[in-house]
Structure 1
Amino acid sequence: MQIKKLLFLFFIFGFWTNLFPETPTVDLTNLGETPIFLAKSMLVYEDTSQNLDWDEIHSETSKNKFQTFSSSEEAFNFSYSKSTFWLKVLINNPTDEDVHSNLVIAYPRIKTLDLFVNSNDGTKRIPSGYSVPVEKRPYQSRFFVFPILFAKQSKTELYIKVNSPNAINLPIQLWRQKFYDRHEIDDHVMQAIYFGITIAMIVFNLFLFFILRDESYLLYVLVVFSIAISIAAYNGIASEYIWKNSPWLDQYAINLFISIVLILFLIFMRNLLQTKKILPKLDPINFILIVIQIVLSIAYIISFDTFVRLLVLSHSITSLWILIIGVMCSLKKQRIAYFFLLAFAFLFLALIVSTLRALGYIPTNVFTIEGPQYGSAAEMMLLAFALADRYNTIIREKEIAESKVKYNLERSNLDLEEKVRERTFKLNQTLSAMRRDLFVAKNIQENSIQVDPQLLRELKLVYRYLPVSEVGGDFFDIIRLQNANFRILIADATGHGVHAAMITMAIKGLYDPIKEFELQPNQVLEIFNEEFMDNFVSLNSLLTAMILDINFNEKTIHFASAGHPAAVLLHDGKIELLAKTGRMIGLKKQTHYDLKSTKFQSGDRLFIFTDGVYEAFNSKNEEFGEENLHKFLMATNSLPLGQVEENLLQTLENFQNGSDRQDDLTILGFDL
């Protein structure tokens, strides 16, 4: 009789336990370097009315409604559902230390995801989900992360409220905070590698498109770019970095971008596999599928709940069709189709896995979540191989065509040689005339920068002007404004040679009428820029310029610089740089230039130069640089000014070690 009573009580206890299960407990002593997956340890309550709030959920009546729910080891998968799901678990920290942890839901497309932390200190609600802006979430990440402190010797109930129009997948992990931080760094490195490879593929094939003018490369770039955006939307990178506060895009973007990917893939496939010629009867279906994707995408935007499943299903059907076309072209022994088929097989498998997971037919885990990104990476690389094979085919065809052309060229070689001799004679005549013209131009330019000997003595000026060729793009002008006040202009037109020399003549023509205006240097530069923009903007040339007014009575230098290299003032054993005060001449009208001033003392030394002085390169393509120039000027400050400039030219020549100068060089030195 007693045995029967015990069996009866055991049955009643088991029935009651299954009907009203106790909240599962997770022990934090098991929390180490790897996370604890909470899906198997949580109870679930499905609120089909979507009306229950925290007080009702936490009431004694609702507590008994939480039940176990079938899930994978790592995650819940509620697929597409209009219900609100409440999940709960009890976290036990029996240790003698506080545990800093992160609760992570590693899936970015959940609209409402609120965490309720119920402890001895009361209940704390932490809102999250893509409806909450990234900067207002408790932890800014591509996933939903909740930092939680579990006090020592404590038990804490965690409740999670979930609702979303998208497929509801919940990979729920509990990490120690320091190990999750390390994991997140590793994750960002992997994402950087993936998107870095994607950008490299896009840039490389874009260059090939511009070189070969083959639209297959442009279509490949568009396909890869759209896949990259889709992956960014899929794994949360886009919502973390691109659209940080756009719930609409978080809800709609992934399926819309998949439609764009498939549309571009259909166009790319028609072009690469030439389906219009190879499969003329099946080719029209490609257009039908493109129209279906466009129509369903529009309908999906208008009514999300009505068309989301249909759009997801159409993605699988379209993908299967692309795979079938690849198989059929391969059976016709089309070489490039082998690469295409293998490449799309990876993407197709990833898309099918993602679709089945979203519809709830397969479990949610690391493989089914990260699968599309790995599949897209493999597809991207294999398609690149396909285009490389296409490039080799183009090269072979080109070589055949060149061999035919070569035969014809050899036949006409004798005629060409005769014509070359005739034209060489004419070219020599033309070159002789050009040399005479350049000699005249050189004399004209040198005369335009001659300095009055009286000014040379008064300013104690020593200068060097060395153009790369007969004429150059550097120009300077020195005038006396009044008594002990002098104005110095130095300018450098972009480039060198005849074109730059023509700009210097334009500089002189514009500057001469305004150089004696009783205006500050910055005002003269502003007038000069306006005149240059009005008269010579069509020359597509820019120039740097600097105007300095030196007053020997007041011992001041007022200056303004239009992007010109900083002049060097040496005084008291120190260097003062007279840096630029505005942008280059010729960039924009109504440009403002600041005026700056500085003091000097007797015995100071001033150097004004163009960038050719320090932009000297040696055979190793190393630049002499401004820093070396400044050190040289400091080291030779005790030498006579002329000797300093001679030593500088010799130093530059030694540095270049036989390499030719690449820019005009001008340096003005003043003993103040």
Structure 2
Amino acid sequence: MSDQQISENLYVYKDIEGQASLEEVLLSSLEWQSQVKGELSAELPVAWQTVDHNPPNFGYSSSVYWFHLPLLNAAHFGSEWVVEVAYPVLDYVDLYVVKDGDVQSFYKLGDKQPFSNRVFEHRNFRIPVTLSPLDQVDIYIRVKTSSAVQVPVRLWGYGGVMKHDQLDVLILGVYFGLLVVMALYNALIFLTVRQKSNLYYVLYVVSYGLFQASLIGLAYQYIWPSGIHWNDQSILVSLALSLVFGTMFIRSYLDLRLSSPRLELFYRAATWLGLVCIFLSFVLSYDFMIRVMVYSSTIICLGAMAGGLYLWRSIGRSIQYFTLAWLFLFAGGLILALNKFGILPRNLFTENASLYGSAVQVILLSMALVEQINMERKKRFAAQQRAIVQERLAREAQEHALTLQRQDNERLEQRVLERTAELEALNDKLQELTIRDSLTSLYNRRYLDMKAEEEYKRAQRDRNALAVLIMDLDNFKQINDCYGHQFGDACLVATAKVLSDNVQRTSDTVARYGGEEFVAILPGASKEKARYLAEMIRLNIMSLEMMFEGKRVPLSMSIGFVSTKPKEAGRYEELIKLADEALYQAKDEGRNRVIGANES
């Protein structure tokens, strides 16, 4: 049956303490259904709720969740069904088949139970349900897990489940067969060329394949069906090993030790982080460690894509394959995450997006390694050819040799000129980086102090007005505490975009002053123009659509400003102080407002 049909008839009850018995749950369900039908007039506490979409997703929670799925056979002939919970990493899954208040069947499943407890030898949790003509039963599912509480409930006829399993086995067989072939192929290449990148690639593919097998339940079904305690641990360990060998592969493939020592240090630290995570996975909780490793893997994946894009044109097709490989892996994981959170519909593509993405990644990385080897061979062949040509030319007349020497000198001079130009461009870029804030790309305080002093002296000399705006996001500490620093950084980046869009004159300067404070220097701006610009900024900040878990988080900004003609004996710090005092006044008067300084 479709997810829509399931979700319309699936109900959930959250047992926070985890102490509710089946009898209490049945009684609560009957009372709630009677109240919904209007049979009870008394207002009872709302315990059961309808499920908005299938699969239900409640994130990481220590509570117990009960699900109720009523089944009615309206036909005059019997029918057989299979009820499935299609998320194999749930710890405890108890399924009850209840008829007229009595338990007909009870199944104790979950990956904390031996695999032999399962009725069907399948990676997901399945039970049979037989319905007589005009018969009705109620399926109750109790779920408690340290992993994310995702409970995709499916209802199959026997023909439908067999057809689905055939396609599922085909997809998984092709996927893991591909991993095995790619691992063996590159292992043979490593034995031939002794290139470390191929060895790290093989270890990464094996680790990631083991992670996927553990995540989708195949490892528990076929490799360690009795390894109850190791089953959850295997997900963390294999993912940490993927992080270790993935970063080692990136370091070796991009040759970061020579091309980028800073990135080499970053990825070396990431490798050590993966090794530490292996140890910590035996000590800390599953939900904490899986979050740490997923976030770390995402950063590593994005970093690999960024490095590939940076070198996109400089190396050739091998780096293009490398970059696209990490892009497909990231896209597959993103589509799967959006599917799990109910943003994308659940279908054959979205459910297996991670497999598709990683399969394409494995193929592209193998192509990148082959292309890299071919490029090295072409370079060596070209070098040999040049050597042969030079040797033959050297044996010719002395005049010809002198001509070649002169040509070589000219080429060397040209390369020196080109390298000098490159170094000058890099120096310009480094100079730009020293005056920019790394998060918002606005100017930093160091540049602001220099620019403000310069504009202050110019305004003194020309006797022009100079305006200073100091802006501060309201309640930013609470935003960081409630939604996390990553969301807080996103708010700062969005605020910087608003400031850049509004402060557009080439003579104006906008900078991050520190934390959530920003400063704008506006040469020649009158008090009215400064106030107008401040109000525009404040209104644009209020209109930002900052979303967290599907909900809008409102932002506001308090702004203090001053506009005056600088005194001959004054300093720009005096304007900063006046604007700062106006900002504090705006904060004291309730925030989200613009206050001008009372300059003399």
Q: CA distance change for structure 1 residues 392 and 37 in 2, over 3 Å: closer, same or farther?
A: farther
Give the structure 1 partner of residue 145 of structure 2. 164
1:333 deviates by 4.7
Measured in 2, the distance between the counterparts of 1:150 and 1:226 equals 44
Q: CA distance change for structure 1 residues 378 and 136 in 2, over 3 Å: closer, same or farther?
A: same
Q: Is the 8 A contact 1:57 1:63 kept in 2?
A: no
Q: CA distance change for structure 1 residues 58 and 147 in 2, over 3 Å: closer, same or farther?
A: same
Unmatched 5+ residue regions in structure 2?
Answer: 33-45, 393-600
Give the structure 1 partner of residue 169 of structure 2. 188
Provide Cα deviations, 1:510-536, integer angstroms capped at 9, x if missing partner: xxxxxxxxxxxxxxxxxxxxxxxxxxx
Provide Cα deviations, 1:73-96, integer angstroms capped at 9, x if missing partner: x31111111010001021110112
Q: CA distance change for structure 1 residues 308 and 189 in 2, over 3 Å: closer, same or farther?
A: closer
Pick aligned residue for 1:132 from 79, 100, 113? 113
1:59 equivalent to 2:22? Answer no
Q: CA distance change for structure 1 residues 69 and 315 in 2, over 3 Å: closer, same or farther?
A: farther
1:102 equivalent to 2:82? Answer yes
Give the structure 2 partner of residue 300 of structure 1. 281
Give the structure 2 partner of residue 600 of structure 1. none
Pick aligned residue for 1:205 from 186, 189, 204? 186
Matches within 5 A, 1:261-660: 261-304=242-285, 305-330=287-312, 332-333=314-315, 335-354=317-336, 360=341, 362=343, 365-366=346-347, 367-400=349-382, 403=385
Give the structure 1 partner of residue 123 of structure 2. 142
What root-mean-square deviation, in Å, do the aligned CA atoms of Structure 1 and Structure 2 show? Answer: 2.8
My pick for the range that moved more, 341-350 or 247-256, is: 247-256
1:246 deviates by 2.2
Measured in 1, the distance between the counterparts of 2:376 and 2:290 equals 43
Measured in 2, the distance between the counterparts of 1:357 and 1:285 equals 32
Measured in 2, the distance between the counterparts of 1:258 and 1:99 equals 43
Secondary structure of 1:179's partner? helix
1:397 deviates by 3.0
My pick for the range that moved more, 35-44 or 401-410, is: 401-410
1:242 equivalent to 2:223? Answer yes
Secondary structure of 1:90's partner? strand
Letter paired with 2:106: R
Secondary structure of 1:75's partner? coil
1:270 deviates by 1.2
Q: Which has the larger radius of gyration?
A: 1
Secondary structure of 2:56's partner? strand
Q: CA distance change for structure 1 residues 192 and 308 in 2, over 3 Å: closer, same or farther?
A: closer
Aligned-pair identity (%):
24
Give the structure 1 partner of residue 398 of structure 2. none
Q: CA distance change for structure 1 residues 259 and 348 in 2, over 3 Å: closer, same or farther?
A: farther
1:375 deviates by 0.7
Q: Is the 8 A contact 1:262 1:319 kept in 2?
A: no
Provide Cα deviations, 1:537-576, integer angstroms capped at 9, x if missing partner: xxxxxxxxxxxxxxxxxxxxxxxxxxxxxxxxxxxxxxxx
Measured in 2, the distance between the counterparts of 1:294 and 1:177 equals 45
Unmatched 5+ residue regions in structure 1?
Answer: 1-30, 411-672
Q: Is the 8 A contact 2:74 2:134 kept in 1?
A: yes
Aligned pairs, how many?
A: 377
Measured in 2, the distance between the counterparts of 1:178 and 1:361 equals 27
Provide Cα deviations, 1:250-279, integer angstroms capped at 9, x if missing partner: 323223322221221111111111122222
TM-score w.r.t. the length of structure 1 is 0.52
1:364 deviates by 7.6
Provide Cα deviations, 1:260-316, integer angstroms capped at 9, x if missing partner: 212211111111111222222322111122222332443232121544433333332
Q: Is the 8 A contact 2:336 2:352 kept in 1?
A: no
Letter paired with 1:54: L
Q: CA distance change for structure 1 residues 117 and 96 in 2, over 3 Å: closer, same or farther?
A: same
Measured in 2, the distance between the counterparts of 1:285 and 1:234 equals 28
Secondary structure of 1:282's partner? helix
Q: CA distance change for structure 1 residues 249 and 62 in 2, over 3 Å: closer, same or farther?
A: farther
Letter paired with 1:342: L
1:116 equivalent to 2:84? Answer no
Measured in 2, the distance between the counterparts of 1:331 and 1:63 equals 68
Measured in 2, the distance between the counterparts of 1:255 and 1:361 equals 25
Q: Is the 8 A contact 2:308 2:323 kept in 1?
A: yes
1:240 deviates by 1.2
